[in-house]
Amino acid sequence: MKKQILIVGLMMISAITFGQKKEIKSALKFLKANNFPEAISILTPLEGAIATADSSVEQQYYLVLGKSYLGDAGNDYEKMEKAGEAFDKALAVDKKGKYKEDIEIGLNDLKNALIESVKLDQQSKKYIDGSKKLYKGYTLSKQDTIFLYYAASFATDGKDYDRAIDYYSELLELSYTGIQDEYYAIKKGTTEEVKFGSKKERDLVIKSGDYVIPTEKKTKSKKPDILKSLTFIYNIKGETEKAKVLIKEARKENPDDIDLLNAEANMYYKANDMVNYKKVVNEMISKDPKNPQLYYNLGVASKKNGEVEEASKYYDKAIELKPDYVEALINRSQIILAGEAAIIEEMNGLGTSNADYKRYDELKEVKNGLYNEALPYLEKALNVRKDDADIIRTLKSMYDLLGMDDKAKEMRTRLSEIEG
C-alpha cells in the first residue's frame, strides 16, 4: 500500500514538472519576443512550487526569470535586484554547470545595465539610487571592488553619510587601493605617448610596427582619497576624534597632498581650534606661498583668536597677492572701523563744558581718520562688486559723515537704482 502511495506521489511530481516545463517554454517564447512583462506574469506563479521540480527545470526557470526581469527593468532598480536574485538562485542550483555560461552572460548583462542606469542617476543627481545600484554590481562579483568604491562616492554625494561610512570601511577592511596597470607606447615617428585599454591591445600595435617603446605605469592608490572622504564625513557629523585618527593615517599615506592638509585645517576650524588650524594653514603656505586665500584664512583665524594686528597683516598680504580680493578688502576695513564704536560711545557721554567740546572735536578727528583709512579698501571692493548694496550703504554713510557730498549723492543714486 505504501509503495502504491509513493508511486502516485512520483506521478504527481512528474505531472507538475511537465506543467512547469511547458510554462517555462511559453515564457521563453515571450522573452525572445521581448515581451518581458508577459514572461514574468507566466513565471511568477510557479515560484512557490519550483523547488519540487527537477534541478534542470529549476535552473532554467530562474535563468529565464532573471533575463525577463532584466529585459523589463529599464531604470527600475527593484527589477534589476530581482534579476540579480534570480541569477544567483540559478547559479546555486546549477551543480553540473549546464547553464553556467548563460547565467554568467546574464550577470554580466545585469552589471552593464546597472552601469547605464547609474549614468542616468548621475545626470539627474539621484546619487542614493546610483549608490544602491553600484553596490548591487559589487555584490554580483566581489572582485569588482571598483563598484564598491563608486558606491561609497555616490552615497557621499547624496549625503547618505552612514551608508558611505559603511562602504568606505568595507574598502579599508579589504585593503583596497584601486591601483591598476596602464599600458603605453610611442606612436612611431612621433613623441606622442598613447595609452591603451589593455596589455594585449598595446602588444598588438607594437607587433604591427606602428608603435614603439612599450611602457607600463601604475595608477595612484585610492586609499588616501578614501581616508580623506571619511575624514570629511566625520567632520560633517561632528565626530572630530574619529576624523583626527583618520587624517593622521591619510597624511602618512600622502604627506604632500594639499587636499588632505585642507581637510585637516577644516577639521580644526570646525572644532574652533584656531591654534592648530593656523599651524596647518602655515604648512600649506610653505607649499603654496603665492596663494592669497591661505593668507585670508589666517586672517580670519587670527581675528577669531583676538589677534587683530596679526589678522591685519594677513589680510594685507592677501590683498597684495590679489588686489581685488573683495572679502579681504571688506574684512580689513572692518578691523579699522572696529574702533569707531568706542569713540562714538565716548562722544555721546560728553557734557557741554569747553573741555568736553574740545575732546569732542578731537574724537571726531580720530573717527574721521578711521573713515579715511577704511575708504580705499571699501572703494576697491565696490569696483569689483558694483551692485553690492551693503558696501554702497556703508560708503554713503561714511561720505556723509566726512562731508563728501558729491560722493554721498552718487551712492544714494546707485542704492536707489539697485533697490528699485
Domain extent listing, the chain: 2-124, 181-218, 323-420
Q: Which residues contact 63 (CB under 8 A, 6 or more apart)?
A: 86, 87, 90, 99, 102, 103, 106
Q: How many angstroms separate the CA atoms of 369 and 358, rounded?
A: 17
Residues 381-416 have pLDDT tens digits of 999 999 999 999 999 999 999 999 999 999 999 999
DSSP letter at 219? Answer: P
Alpha carbons 298 and 53: distance in angstroms, whole number: 74
CB burial of 138-159 (b: ≥16 within 10 Å; e: otherwise) equals bebeeeebebbbbbbbbbbebe
What's the CATH class of domain 2-124?
mainly alpha
Q: Which residue has the cell 606622442?
A: 192
Residue 19 has pLDDT above 90, yes or no: no
What's residue 266's pLDDT?
A: 82
The pLDDT of residue 374 is 94
Chain CA centroid to CA 358, Å: 63
254: confidence class by pLDDT, cuts 50, 70, 90: confident
| Strand ranges of the sheet holding 211-218, from the earlier edge strand across to the other edge | 193-196, 181-187, 211-218
Q: Does domain 323-420 have CATH number 1.25.40?
A: yes
R_g (Cα) of the chain, nearest Å: 35
Count CA atoms closer than 13 A to 257's CA, side-chain side.
21
How confident is the model at residue 98, as a pLDDT?
A: 79
Q: Which three cell numbers stand for residue 162?
A: 552612514
Name the pairing type of β-strands 181-187 and 211-218.
Answer: antiparallel
Average of per-residue pLDDT across 12-39:
74
pTM, two decimals, is: 0.65
Do the domains 323-420 and 2-124 match in fold? yes
